[in-house]
Amino acid sequence: MRVKKVLTAIFPVAGLGTRFLPATKSIPKEIMTLVDRPLIQYAIDEARAAGIKEFIFVTSRGKSALEDYFDSAPELESTLKKSGKEDLLEVLKGTNMDSGAIVYIRQNRPLGLGHAVWCARRLIGDEPFAVLLPDDVIAAEKPCLQQMVEAYAETGGNMVAAMEVAPERTSSYGVLNIGEDMGQIVKVKGMVEKPKAGTAPSNLAVIGRYILSPKVMTNLNRMKQGTGGEIQLTDAIADEVADGNVFGYRFCGQRYDCGSKAGFLQATVAFGLSRPDLRDEFSAYLHDMAASQKTA
């Protein structure tokens, strides 16, 4: 099968981030740092590894720190150069984006993830595109989107990242109704956004990585309000199910829900422990802390 390459990614970052108030009153959630890198950097690095060349950010009021983050910082660079801090200079250069590679567009009101993606419709044309939600951070040997791009080269259609969750957690996710289970890839025969307790069609949940056909944009044109009165991306993808064009991909890796406080803290610990420069000191601290909690 000849499948078009996925070269464009949409990063919907226009949400209010209310679960992190008051911090998100002035700091975009996507700029919050795991160890020393903002969430958005993890998503950008993952997209680059998957071969993405065009980056579309769907932003909103109060997100200017995000735009500044990707600007070059000539003063900082020359200071680091003068003081011989080549390692930091390299780190800094890793955040630079090519001129013209990033487009920022505005979502004027937070009407839902589907609406945020739809805001990018004029930039997508007739090409497949990826969607990455930066608050889902995935630690994996091979970055998650790269795994999906490789699988998508075989299937075409639409692909969503999927993972098994505990049955009592399904009501927090989009959930797949599995048609055919081929192991790592499942053919999807239905999708439900945040099913009510006890009604989920499976415990295979969608998480924030997607490869979508331009047809999904056309479906979003209908502006159908779904769960919570929001325009749901899940519903626009589910419209493609009848044509046998939707696949779930069980990725290899550990996903952290950095949109929630508990998930963010877990990710901070995991990424801190995975860093050779921090591991010994940090794990000794955690060890002592756990011991003192036990005796308290």
Pairing of strands 54-59, 8-12: parallel
163 in contact with ligand UTP (CB under 6 A): no
Could you give the string, one character per residue 18-37, with x where binding to ligand UTP holds by CB under 6 A and - elsewhere?
A: xx---------x--------
116 in contact with ligand UTP (CB under 6 A): yes
Applying CB under 6 A, which of residues 47, 133, 160, 237 lies at the interface with ligand UTP?
133
Q: Which stretch binds ligand UTP (CB under 6 A): 47-55, 85-93, 121-129, 130-138?
A: 130-138
Cβ at position 58, least distance to ligand UTP in Å: 5
Closest CA to 203 of 243, 170, 244: 170
* Residue 249: CB atoms within 10 Å: 23
Q: Which stretch binds ligand UTP (CB under 6 A): 6-14, 142-150, 197-205, 283-291?
A: 6-14
99: its two tokens = 């001129």
HSE toward the beta carbon, residue 62, CA cutoff 13 A: 16
Closest CA to 6 of 46, 33, 66: 46
In what helix (H) or strand (E) does residue 68 lie, and over which residues does it extend? helix 64-69
Applying CB under 6 A, which of residues 6, 50, 58, 149 lies at the interface with ligand UTP?
58
Distances 30 to 60, 64, 140, 150, 290 between C-alpha atoms, Å: 12, 11, 20, 27, 30
248 in contact with ligand UTP (CB under 6 A): no
Applying CB under 6 A, which of residues 7, 16, 97, 153 lies at the interface with ligand UTP?
16
14 in contact with ligand UTP (CB under 6 A): yes
Contacting residues toward ligand UTP, per CB under 6 A = 12-19, 29, 58, 107, 110-113, 115-116, 133-135, 259
